[in-house]
Chains A and B, each alone.
Chain A
Amino acid sequence: MTASTLEQVRNVASDIFGIPTDKITAESSPETIENWDSMQHLNLVLAIEEKFGVQLEPEDIEEMKNIGAVAALVEKLQSAAR
């Protein structure tokens, strides 16, 4: 995973959860981010799809257990599309 993808995912998460980017790490998850509920999860999914031009399958969405996993997923989908 490149730093750039993770950084961009952290920026998106910062906007969605309303938390400064430097407080968000690859390990940040619904356990550590208070308002990461199911509606915010949907908002995160939509923001990721919009930003990276990818389409997440329901199975992918279940795998998004922390920020690092989201970044890894984005990279996987992007390399599959190339």
Chain B
Amino acid sequence: MSDSTSNSIPNSTSAERSASNLRAQVDALIAESAFDLAMRRLADLWRRDPASGTASFVISRIDELRGKLRNKFPLAQFKLAILRSFTVEPIVPLLRAEAFVYGINLEVHVGDFNTYVQDMLDSDSSLYRFVPNAVVLAVRTDQAAPELWRDFADLTPEAAQQAAERVVDGYEQWIGAFRKHSQAALIVHSLERPSSPSLGVLDDQYEAGQSELIRQVNRELRRIAAGFHGVYTLDYDALVSRHGSEPWRDERKWLTARLPIAAGYLLQMAREWMRFIVPLSGRTAKVLVVDLDNTLWGGVIGEDGMAGIKVGAEYPGAAYQALHRTLLDLSRKGILLAVCSKNNLDDAMEALENHPGMLVRAKHFSAMRVNWTDKAQNLREIAQELNVGIDALAFLDDNPFEREQVRAALPEVTVIDLPKNPLEYASVVRKCAAFERLTLSAEDQQRSEMYAAQKQRAGAEQTFQSKEDFFRFLEQEAQLEPVSELTLARVAQLTQKTNQFNLTTRRYTEPEIAEMAKKPEWHIFSIKVRDRFGDHGLVGVAIAHDEGEQCEVDSFLLSCRVIGRTVETALLAHLAESAAQRGRKRLVGWFLPTKKNAPARDFYEHHGFELQATSCEGSLWALDLKSSTLRAPDWINLKVSVGGSTTKTTAGGRI
């Protein structure tokens, strides 16, 4: 029996009864029109029993509920196409149920068997008509590289090498065609190696044996993917190895139903896809809030004291160090860490600062709430302090009661269910898709340092008489430039992640931005900001396009860390000035309100724009460029570069 089936016990148990009770509860709640609670119970049910049957139940109820609530329940919409060489249909319900607990309503299109090449080459195929957000290319080695899979021993070394090169050439052509026809993300399964090569142990004695050639193809696939924006490889061979290739494979189902994966592992395939879908749909966590007692160390610091808590290089403290290393890895990916613990502050700080076994220290946490008030309230405050939405928080706590309390009070928080055994803590956190990232910018890597500098700035702000004095003291420098290859990833990322200071909240992928940048009437600017406390990195984006006498602002957004420091004025002034230089008479722009972008609501009005029209979606504003007095504030040292050359203007600066 495989490990993933061992938790479903053949005889009817209390767990099973509670799962069937939950189903009855869900249906009763739907009958009473208590839809939000029904959604929560559905998520509970899936977390408790993530099996095929449960998946069918869960998605049938989501589909039923969705029709009823349309705009109320904030599920992100995401369209995934799966191109495949094997049966994936039984995985789809598991995938949709798994997506649901991440707050994503996933619509799935499955291509016909082995038509992936035609589908990618033909611009009018059902694939492109579906208009997916992302496409999975799930092709097995036996189909993608038949010569490398069977009868390999028949090939001469030269013929084997040529076969490998043909495989790579094929992928390169299809992916190139795909990129021409679609801007969707593409996730390419790399090829698995046979568990028993044709020549047995002899295979490993050759420089270009069967396994090695497949590895070589996979290396080339990674190279091809890196050459395109929004193309990623999924290391299928590593996925299979992680679970063991023999239990993973099911030869009977392969021969009878073209399904190569054993029943107990279909969920693992779905979860691996989720690690791409979650970051692509923007449902990631930006902050991980952790408990202390029995989470970061074993024991209770207030009772067991410094000598009594367990954390260090040896068992059992080593389990907690493994979690610390995981947290530090997340921090290197730009995920902020915070503490929320019921404790005396002095006790907690003593352990965090001075315990020799701790690998994470107080300095690694961007916010801390150590007190005796309820955790939901503390989480709200942490979100506010770090300037992120509640839905950007993930919560890690060993205590099931605290987790349930947070789930009930703040359903938008990603609550991680820790197992009882601390040895499993680290791996549970590493597997959480909310922490996956598909690109990493310099900003991501320095984020926690930037927040530390932010704390100093906040301290400084309080000592100044006027805002203007404070702005001058900050010595801000801003660099404005058109989007380039180097900044494309970060620009797209900002359009996807920025919620608060975002006038239109239009989300764009890297390929979409790249496509826009090619058109002469479109203008995409980014702004980098630094000040005396540190470097904020690339924090703002403005996208505009010319049309007749006017220039329309398509997108205008700024990371929350620099809101209110007048950088937004500098960016808008540049849009206005550059539009005027191109002979436009008016700068116009929509403000489209969302639940989160209230900070941007009065932006146009404050900058002298006049209201032109309002509709159910938002309001349209315009600025007459001839009479406009909009200038960048003179306390910002603004550098504007146009296609590489940098012209320095001391801003406000055409004096």
Contact = CB atoms under 8 A, between A and B. Distances in A.
Nearest to B258: A42
A4 B12 CA distance: 7
B266 A46 contact: yes
A11 B53 contact: yes
Contact of B90 (A14, A43, A58, A61): A43
B90 A42 contact: yes
A52 B10 contact: yes
Contact of B52 (A39, A46, A56): A46
B12 A47 contact: no
Interface stretch (B54-62, B149-157, B444-452, B515-523): B54-62
Interface in B1-22: 1-2, 5-6, 8, 10-12, 16, 20
A78 B257 contact: no
Nearest to A2: B11
B51 interface: yes
A42 B8 contact: no
A12 B16 CA distance: 11
Nearest to A50: B263
B252 interface: yes
Interface string A6-23: 011001101110100000
Given A42-B90, A58-B252, A50 B5 contact: yes
Contacts, number: 69
A16 B52 contact: yes
A8 B16 contact: yes
Contacts of B51: 47, 50-51
Contacts of B89: 39, 42-43
Contact of A4 (B2, B11, B262): B11
A12 B257 contact: no
Nearest to A41: B257
Interface residues of B, number: 30
A49 interface: yes
Interface residues of A, number: 26
Contacts of A11: 20, 53
A15 B53 contact: yes
Given A15-B53, A16-B53, A42 B10 contact: no
A34 interface: no
A63 interface: no
A50 to B, nearest CB: 5
Interface string B16-51: 100010000000000000000000000000000001
Contacts of B5: 49-51, 53
A20 to B, nearest CB: 9
Contacts of B8: 50-53
A45 B89 CA distance: 13
A70 B342 CA distance: 52
B87 interface: yes
Contacts of B266: 46
Contacts of B255: 58
Interface string B104-122: 0000000000000000000
Contacts of B11: 4
A50 B49 CA distance: 11
Given A15-B53, A78-B10, 16 more contacts: A8-B12, A8-B16, A16-B56, A18-B56, A18-B60, A42-B257, A43-B93, A46-B266, A49-B5, A49-B264, A52-B8, A53-B1, A53-B5, A57-B252, A58-B255, A61-B256
Interface of B: 1-2, 5-6, 8, 10-12, 16, 20, 51-54, 56-57, 60, 87, 89-90, 93, 252, 255-257, 259, 262-264, 266
18 contacts: A4-B12, A7-B12, A8-B12, A18-B60, A42-B87, A43-B52, A45-B263, A46-B52, A46-B90, A47-B52, A50-B8, A50-B264, A51-B5, A52-B10, A53-B8, A56-B252, A57-B252, A58-B255
